[in-house]
Chains A and B, each alone.
Chain A
Amino acid sequence: MNGWTTVILAGVLSLAVKLAGYVVPHRWFSHPRLARATGLMPVALLSALVAVQAFTSAGRLVIDARAAGVAVAFAALALRAPFLVVITLAAVAAALLRARGIG
C-alpha cells in the first residue's frame, strides 16, 4: 500500500465510521440504561486518552514529564483556569523538566 492509498483509505474510513454514528437508528439506543451507557462513553474514552497519552510510550507504561504536565493541568482546572491556560501550563511544566534533563 503506497502513501497516497494509505492516506486516502484512512481518511475515507474515518468519515465512514463517523457517519455510522448518525445513521444507526436512535431507537436502538433509547433504553434508559443503554442511553446512560452511551452518555458515559465520552467520559470513558477521554479518560482513557488522558491515561494513554500521559503514561504510555510505544505500548509501555512510563512516568515522564507528561505526568507532571497532567498534574499541573488538573491543578489549574481545580483553580478554574481557562482551557488555553491549562494546556499552556502543562506544556511549560513538561518543557521545563525536559530542559533540566528530566523525563
Chain B
Amino acid sequence: MTEARDPSTSPAARRAVLRQAASIGLATGAYGLSFGALAVTAGLDIWQTMVLSLLLFSGGSQFAVVGVLGDGGSGQAAVATSTLLGVRNGLYGLETAQILRPSGWRRLAAAHLTIDESTAVAVGQPTPGLARLGFWATGLAVFVGWNALTFAGAVLGNAVGDPRRFGLDAAAAAAFCALVWPRLKVTDARLVAVGAVLIALTMAPLAPAGVPVLAAVAAAVVVGVGRWGSP
C-alpha cells in the first residue's frame, strides 16, 4: 500500500487511523465472541460457524442466518434474509471502489472486507490516503478479531450464557451509533439519518428482517437526488 500513501497525510493522523482500526477490531471481536456462542447454541457446529465468519463475513447477515435457523426457519429463508442484509455491502462497494480503485486480487480482497465498519472508517477520513489506510486497516483488524473470537465463542459455547445479560446487544447498536456519528456533521446527512430511522421503524413490523434497513436507502436517494440541503 506504499503507493497509496498521501504525502499530505501526517504520521500522527495515520497513527490515529490505525488506533481507531485496532479498537474497532477489538470491539467487534467481543461481539464475535457472542456470535460464536449463539451460532453453536442455535445448532451449527464449530466449522459451520467458522465458515460463516470467514466466508460470509458480515455480522448482521451472520446473526440473521443463526437467528432464522435458531427460530426453526428454513435454510432458504436464512439465505434470503442474510443476502438481503448483505445488499448494503454492495452499495458500500460502489463508494469504496471509488476510494480504493483496486484491481486484480486486491479487488476480491477489498470486496470481501467491504463491511459497515471498514466503509464507515474509510468515508469518515479527510484525505484519500487516510481513507485507503482506514479501509484496509479496519477491514483486516475486524477480520482477524471477528474470526479469532468467533472461534473462541464457538468453543466456549454456552459458557458465555445469554449475551443480553452482558448488554452485548446494546453494544452492537452502540457500535453503529459510533460509526454513523462522524457522518452527521452536515445537514444533508442528518436529514437522511432521521428519514432512515423513521422508515426502518415504520417498516420493521410489516416487512421481513433486512427489508426495513434496505428500505431506508430511500432516505439517501430522496435527499441526495432532491434539491434540498447543500449543493
Contact = CB atoms under 8 A, between A and B. Distances in A.
Interface of A: 1-15, 17-22, 24, 26, 29, 33-34, 36-56, 59-61, 65-66, 68-70, 72-74, 77, 82-84, 86-96, 98-99
Contacts of A99: 165
Interface in B66-101: 69, 74-76, 78-79, 82-83, 86-98
Contacts of A4: 48
Interface residues of B, number: 98
B40 interface: no
A3 B48 contact: yes
B200 A60 contact: no
A86 B43 CA distance: 32
B94 A24 contact: yes
B27 A87 contact: yes
B14 to A, nearest CB: 17
Contact of B95 (A14, A42, A60): A42
B112 A18 contact: yes
Interface of B: 20, 23-24, 26-27, 43-45, 48, 51-52, 54-58, 60-61, 65, 69, 74-76, 78-79, 82-83, 86-98, 102, 107-108, 110-112, 114, 116, 119-120, 123, 164-181, 183-184, 188-189, 192-197, 199-201, 204-205, 209, 212-221, 223-225
B2 to A, nearest CB: 22
Contacts of A41: 88, 91-92, 94-95, 217, 220
Given A11-B56, A39-B224, A40-B223, A20 B90 contact: yes
Nearest to B121: A83
A85 to B, nearest CB: 9
14 contacts: A9-B79, A11-B55, A13-B79, A14-B61, A37-B220, A38-B95, A38-B220, A44-B217, A46-B176, A51-B197, A55-B204, A73-B174, A73-B177, A73-B178
A26 B201 contact: no
Contact of A50 (B27, B55, B197): B197
Given A18-B114, A73-B177, A84-B27, A43 B212 contact: no
B178 A48 contact: no
A38 B200 CA distance: 18
